[in-house]
Amino acid sequence: MRLALATLRRLLRLGLILLCVAGVSFGLMMASPVDPVDAYLGPLAAQVSPEQRELIAQRWGFDDPAPLQFGRWLQQLMSGNLGVSHVYNQPVGEVIGQRFTRSIALLGSAWLLSLLLGFTLGVMAGAKERSPLDKVISAYAYVTASTPTFWLALLGVLLFSVYLGWAPACCAGPVGVPSQDIHLATRLHHLVLPVSTLTLLGTASITLHTRARMVALMRSDIATHAFAQGATRADIAWRHGVRHASLPALTLALASLGELFGGSILIEQVFAYPGLGQATVEAGLRSDVPLLLGIALFTTLFVSIGNMLADSLYHMVDPRMRRPRKPGSIAS
């Protein structure tokens, strides 16, 4: 009962936030210098007289006050109509669906791998503070945390595709082959480089976080007691540390979905991988307003669900967290 109420409250909050995001992004689009009539006409704009333009503006209600337009847009949104993307010449919902199914392979595997790798590295580093292993892993994490995503991807292409020729440099499959004919192995081969780049970058924060938890545990009374009983460091790390640090790591990974998505935009751009990230950039560069709005709402939903899961995981698993204090984090 209590859980249901809490869930309901969360859902209401999610709805409110989505509404706010819709309002903010709609406001931004209204403020943009792109003329909606031009955007609608596309290349035909040169053949249309000013009178006709006025008619079009009247027909679509571009002269109405902004709140009225917002209300109308929201109404359409509620009935599931996201509009038509003029870059791809398809309904926005379809574009997002298609692109997301391609991106999810990249996002999902990178997410899982970075969680596993980051957690393992963090436990190994934190088990013995200031050991050579700890120094190496910490240095790695600090450096990757400051590395520009797209630069690492670029180096990956340079090294593995141009010089060594091990992995393809672009796209989700060989150029010119229809997507249903591509073999699964080929697909995976094309995914290796993007996924590993995204993974390498995603591990940094999880590693550092896990390491901090492990270091705190190793200094705690629990560890002292276990040492007194003759347990080895590896024992403590395995029996106490992994349990102690696994939940925060999972939470952090869920809460950083937004970051991961941002990374995937850049990586898809470098590898010309036809996913949602590339569609976002295309929409931004070629002023496809409906697609941009749709993607903003969709990714917000995606990220918010991640955040919600992260929050409720704590509540469900850890009874001490019934009244949680938000951990302060600067500029995630």
Partner 1 sequence: MKAAQPRLRALACSGLAVLLLLALLSGQWWLGDLPGRMQFDARLAPPGLDHWLGTDALGRELWARTLAGLALSFRVGLLAALLGSAIALGLALLTTLSPRLDALVRLLIDTLLSVPHLILLLLIAFALGGGLQAVVIAVATTHWPGLARVLRAELLQLRAAPYIGISRALGKSQGFILLHHFLPHALPHCLVGALLLFPHAILHEAALTFLGVGLSPSQPAIGILLADAMRYLSGGYWWLGVFPGLGLLLMVLGIERIASGLRRAL
Which residues here bind partner 1, judged by CB under 8 A? 13, 16-17, 20-21, 24-25, 28-29, 31-33, 142-143, 145-151, 154-155, 157-158, 162-163, 169, 257-259, 261-262, 265-266, 269-270, 280-281, 284-285, 287, 292, 295-296, 299-300, 303-304, 307, 326, 328-332
Best CA proximity match to 214, nearest among 137, 278, 152, 316: 137
Q: Quote the least distance from Cβ 263 to partner 1, whole Å.
A: 8
Closest approach of partner 1 to the CB of residue 32, in Å: 4
In the complex, least distance from residue 331 CB atom to partner 1, rounded to whole angstroms: 4
Beta pairing partners, 91: 84
State how far the Cα of 161 lies from the Cα of 326, in Å rounded to an integer.
44
Nearest to partner 1 of 223, 269 (CB atom) = 269
Residue the block writes with tokens 């290796």: 192
Residue found by looking up tokens 């007194």 in the block: 228
Residue 77: C-alpha distances to residues 71, 180, 231 (Å): 10, 32, 60
> In the complex, what is the shortest distance from the CB of residue 111 to partner 1, in angstroms, rounded to a whole number?
14
* CB of 185 or CB of 331, closer to partner 1: 331
Q: Burial-class residue 332 by CB neighbours within 10 Å (0-12, 13-18, 19+).
A: exposed
Angle between helices 242-255 and 184-218 (to 10 degrees): 130
- Give the integer Cα–Cα distance in Å for 92 and 86: 9
CB of 261 to partner 1, least distance (A): 5
Smallest gap, in angstroms, from Cβ of residue 26 to partner 1?
Answer: 10
d(CA 119, CA 308): 21
Q: Name the residue nearer to partner 1 (CB basis): 149 or 199.
A: 149
Nearer to partner 1, 250 or 289 (CB): 289
> What letter does residue 331 receive in the DSSP assignment?
-
Nearer to partner 1, 39 or 242 (CB): 39
Minimum CB–partner distance for residue 154 and partner 1 (Å): 5
Q: Is 113 or 170 the residue whose CB approaches partner 1 more closely?
A: 170
CB of 103 closer than 8 Å to CB of 276: yes
The nearer residue to partner 1, 25 or 109, going by C-beta atoms, is 25
